[in-house]
Amino acid sequence: MRAHFAPCNAKRPENGAERMAPKVGEYRVDQYATDGSRAAILEAAARCFTERGYDATSIDDVARSLGATKGRIYHHYPSKADLFADVFRAGMEMNYAAIEPVRDLPGKALGRWRTLAFTHVVQMIRRRTFQRVVWEGTEMYLRGATTPQQRSTFAALHESRSRYGAIFRQTIAEAKKDGDMRFGSLGIANQLMLVTLNSPIFWYSPRPGETRDDIDDIAWQVVAFAASGLGASEGEFR
């Protein structure tokens, strides 16, 4: 028997991360999906998939969260898998757009990594529901928990995420070459760094009255922790 869940929370927080106006380099779902109806569907679906997971979420759940009929969703997406994949795709588009203005900054690699890492963590906080879907979609792909029809779509999404991670890998490799980071295996260091920078998708939740400065402070603490693991002292980058 299907487990019972309360309706997905369709109301955005009155305070906190998702209410704040975007900064330069941040990316909203309505920039990815310029059709307002589709953007609203993606927002609702991201919330539902985050709260329940892919398997336990239905198109009915997303429609109820949106206060709409299933027909409105099926007009854009023929299946739940297609909807989930587009939430994943939107999450990655947001990430690429956020770091694009800062990925080629002049100067040493350590300073560039500092800005990249901070921008990424803010994305993990402010767009947490989309980033949880990116994480779950990656796990599904790596476990082989996709149908043959879904496999090629998820392979392309996974490749997009891998290319994104490679930007950070290249940057810390340059910082190590400069003598500003001290770590052993590049592959291991990169994986542990990304786990740290991605971690807010698991533990962050908005607090009443939370400000942008509060979120920035959380992000800098995460970046500082990652930097220490990469062998860069806080004084070198903060």
15 in a structural domain: no
Domain range spanning residue 136?
24-236
- Report which of residues 4 and 226 the model is more confident about: 226
Residues 6+ apart with CB under 8 A from 220: 118, 238
| Counts of helices then strands in the chain (DSSP H, E) | 11, 0
Query: Treating both helix axes as pointing N-terminal to C-terminal, what angle do 212-229 and 109-126 enclose, rounded to 10 degrees?
Result: 130
pLDDT at 4 over 60: no
pLDDT the model gives residue 7: 59
Give Cα 114 distance to the centre of its chain: 18
Q: What is the pLDDT of residues 51-101, one digit of tens each?
A: 999 999 999 999 999 988 899 999 999 999 999 999 999 999 999 999 999
What's the average model confidence in pLDDT over 206-231? 95
**Alpha-carbon span 99 to 197, nearest angstrom:** 14
Domain count, the chain: 1
Residue 231 burial (C-beta neighbours within 10 Å; 0-12, 13-18, 19+): middle
Which residue, 217, 232, 203, is CA-closest to 122? 217
51 in a structural domain: yes
- Report which of residues 128 and 35 the model is more confident about: 128
133 in a structural domain: yes
Residue 237 burial (C-beta neighbours within 10 Å; 0-12, 13-18, 19+): buried
pLDDT the model gives residue 188: 97
pLDDT the model gives residue 30: 57
pTM of the model: 0.84
122 in a structural domain: yes
1 in a structural domain: no
Taking CA 81 as the corner, what is the angle to CA 49 and CA 46, rounded to the nearest 5 degrees?
25
**Alpha-carbon span 192 to 230, nearest angstrom:** 9
Min mean pLDDT across 59-73, 83-97, 106-120, 222-236 is at 222-236
11 in a structural domain: no
5 in a structural domain: no
pLDDT at 25 over 80: no
Q: pLDDT band for position 19 (50/70/90)? A: very low
Q: pLDDT band for position 154 (50/70/90)? A: confident
12 in a structural domain: no
Report the CATH number at residue 183. Answer: 1.10.357.10
pLDDT the model gives residue 234: 57
